[in-house]
Amino acid sequence: MNNNNDECLSICANCKNHGIRVSAKSHKYVCAYKDCRCQLCTATKTMRNVMAMRVYDLK
C-alpha cells in the first residue's frame, strides 16, 4: 500500500498542463490558467464537457 498523500490529492488539470502541481481544492477561482486558451487547456475543457454530458445522459 502506498502512503504517499500526493497521489490522493486532486490536482488542478489546467495548472498540470503547464507543469505546475497545485491542489484543486479551493483553487477554482484563483487558478492562473482558468481562462487559458492554449491547446492543452482547450482539450481539457472539451473532455470535461464531454464527460459531463455522458454523466448527464446516464441519469
- Please count the structural domains in the chain: 1
Alpha helices (runs of H) in 1-59, residue ranges in sequence order: 13-17, 39-58
CA count, 13 A, side-chain hemisphere, 52: 6
pTM: 0.74
Phi/psi at 23 (nearest 5 deg)? -65, 135
Q: In this structure, are residues 29 and 44 in contact, taking their beta carbons and an 8 Å threshold? A: no
pLDDT by residue (tens digit) across 1-59? 445 555 558 999 999 999 999 999 999 999 999 999 999 999 999 999 999 999 998 87
Q: Which domain holds residue 43?
A: 5-58
